[in-house]
Chain A
Amino acid sequence: MTDTVSRSFTPSADEVAKFHELGYLGPFTVYEEDEMRRLWKRERLRLMDRSGAVYDEGDAHSGNTNIANYDRHLDSTFLADHICRPEIVDRVAAVLGPNVLCWRSEFFPKYPGDEGTDWHQADTFAFASGKPQILWPESEKEFGGTITVWTAFTEAAEDTGCLQFIPGTHRTMYYDETKGMHYQPDKINSQEKGGVNRGFYGYDYRQLQKDPDWRPPEDRAVSMVMRPGEAVMFWSTMMHASKPHSAPGKEMRLGFAGRYVPTSVAIYPDTEDVDEYGGRVSLQEYGAVLVAGTDTYGHNRKVTTTTKGHRFPTR
């Protein structure tokens, strides 16, 4: 076994304790900056080949979102290896336990002039689709949400749309994801909230607030400034947002998020398709990926290789 294979990125007990306190860990390095830039230059071209993608583009695109770009780790060798990187999986398993599934990946592009993203929390991910996308078992009801690992494929700076977190907010939901939001793509890039141009891909996340008069405690917000190749791991239930891309001369900001849950969680229960952000994709070819351990629950359909035949390197 080589050093590369055996090397562990498991965080210390103190780091795990800090994660539980704050709701996030990082930023940490997944790729060196030069390597990330070189890889992304090549992979953004490879990804234009959608012949192995599991979702049709037909009805998937609306506003500034194309949900057919969900889960490209199911066809791209680079992204398949990325979601299984030990730098990521060891950290996730330190929190979720040894048996971990990756159930979703998403690109988060921001071009110069794009609005920031609303403050939000996600527990079941029903906020846009109307149906819970992940369900934790009754016995673990105090948990919820997913661990998201957001990797900066390009620079995420204060003026190019870096993430913002409000530490310690992951144990209380200030939003009710079942309330429903109105999809209004004509509002994209046109709304100021607290003096910042923000939106939620055609939705207004404030519509889900349990208390309409409540305001996020933005004075406690911290910015996650990251070089290309750095990542941050956080609970989706922690209040998070992103800044607008307000630097016309700078490159677009691209984050790539992998979302992880333990094998005990049911993914897309009783659901045949995902219908959100004005688009719809069928889950016919979907499968979750076991990135660490074993799955003794069998709740979820899984895949062990990409649609191009590349095997996911399970830890």
Chain B
Amino acid sequence: MTAQPRAGTAIADVRATIQAIVGAVLERDVDPSIDVFDQGATSLAFIRIVAEINERFGVDVDVAELEEASVDALLALVTEQLKSPDPVTVRD
């Protein structure tokens, strides 16, 4: 299914999805406020995480815009792109 995200929805869903992706790639539960590199991620794992987030939400996360690699920082960037005037699509 492809759908436009509704404004204001889904922040909790987006967070849960990002956290699930990170958890699946790292094969462990992660603290969303802590940089994933401090929770066992390698550069290759992080590249996989970003690729999967881009694919799932139809966004184009530029890691150079992140100040740190936490779930919360990824959520902020994804949310910003989902709200942009040139909307992206969510793919399930």
In the bound complex, CA of A42 to CA of B69 (Å): 8
Please give, as numbers and ranges, the residues of chain A lying within 8 Å of B63 by CB-CB distance: 45-46, 48-49
Smallest beta-carbon distance A87→chain B, Å? 25
A108 at interface (Cβ–Cβ under 8 A)?
no
Interface residues contributed by chain A, number (CB under 8 Å): 9
Please give, as numbers and ranges, the residues of chain A lying within 8 Å of B13 by CB-CB distance: none
Interface residues contributed by chain B, number (CB under 8 Å): 13
Is there an interface contact between B69 and A251, defined as CB atoms closer than 8 Å? no
- The verdict on A48 contacting B43 (CB below 8 Å), with A41-B35, A251-B38 known, is yes
Is there an interface contact between B38 and A48, defined as CB atoms closer than 8 Å? no
Is there an interface contact between B68 and A41, defined as CB atoms closer than 8 Å? yes
A70 at interface (Cβ–Cβ under 8 A)?
no
A268 at interface (Cβ–Cβ under 8 A)?
no
B47 at interface (Cβ–Cβ under 8 A)?
yes
B64 at interface (Cβ–Cβ under 8 A)?
yes
Against A, the Cβ 8 Å flags (1 = close, 0 = not) of B47-78 are: 10000000000000001101111000000000
Chain A interface, DSSP helix/strand/loop, else mixed:
helix
In the bound complex, CA of A48 to CA of B47 (Å): 8
Residue among A46, A48, A49, A251 with the highest chain B CB neighbour number at 10 A: A48
Please give, as numbers and ranges, the residues of chain B lying within 8 Å of A42 by CB-CB distance: 66-68
A44 at interface (Cβ–Cβ under 8 A)?
yes
Please give, as numbers and ranges, the residues of chain B lying within 8 Å of A251 by CB-CB distance: 38
A183 at interface (Cβ–Cβ under 8 A)?
no
**Nearest A-chain residue to B65, judged by Cβ:** A45
A286 at interface (Cβ–Cβ under 8 A)?
no
- The verdict on A41 contacting B64 (CB below 8 Å), with A48-B47, A251-B38 known, is no
In the bound complex, CA of A41 to CA of B68 (Å): 6
Is there an interface contact between A45 and B64, defined as CB atoms closer than 8 Å? yes
Smallest beta-carbon distance B13→chain A, Å? 25
A111 at interface (Cβ–Cβ under 8 A)?
yes
Against B, the Cβ 8 Å flags (1 = close, 0 = not) of A46-85 are: 1011000000000000000000000000000000000000
In the bound complex, CA of A41 to CA of B43 (Å): 12
Against B, the Cβ 8 Å flags (1 = close, 0 = not) of A18-47 are: 000000000000000000000001101110
Smallest beta-carbon distance B73→chain A, Å? 9
Please give, as numbers and ranges, the residues of chain A lying within 8 Å of B66 by CB-CB distance: 42, 45
Smallest beta-carbon distance B58→chain A, Å? 21
Is there an interface contact between B64 and A49, defined as CB atoms closer than 8 Å? yes
Residue among A45, A48, A49, A111 with the highest chain B CB neighbour number at 10 A: A45
Is there an interface contact between B69 and A45, defined as CB atoms closer than 8 Å? yes
Please give, as numbers and ranges, the residues of chain B lying within 8 Å of A45 by CB-CB distance: 63-64, 66, 68-69
Is there an interface contact between B42 and A111, defined as CB atoms closer than 8 Å? yes
In the bound complex, CA of A60 to CA of B31 (Å): 34
Please give, as numbers and ranges, the residues of chain B lying within 8 Å of A111 by CB-CB distance: 42
Binding site for B on A (CB under 8 A): 41-42, 44-46, 48-49, 111, 251
What are 27 A-B contacts with C-beta separation under 8 Å?
A41-B35, A41-B37, A41-B67, A41-B68, A41-B69, A42-B66, A42-B67, A42-B68, A44-B37, A44-B43, A44-B69, A45-B63, A45-B64, A45-B66, A45-B68, A45-B69, A46-B63, A46-B64, A48-B43, A48-B46, A48-B47, A48-B63, A48-B64, A49-B63, A49-B64, A111-B42, A251-B38
Binding site for A on B (CB under 8 A): 35, 37-38, 42-43, 46-47, 63-64, 66-69
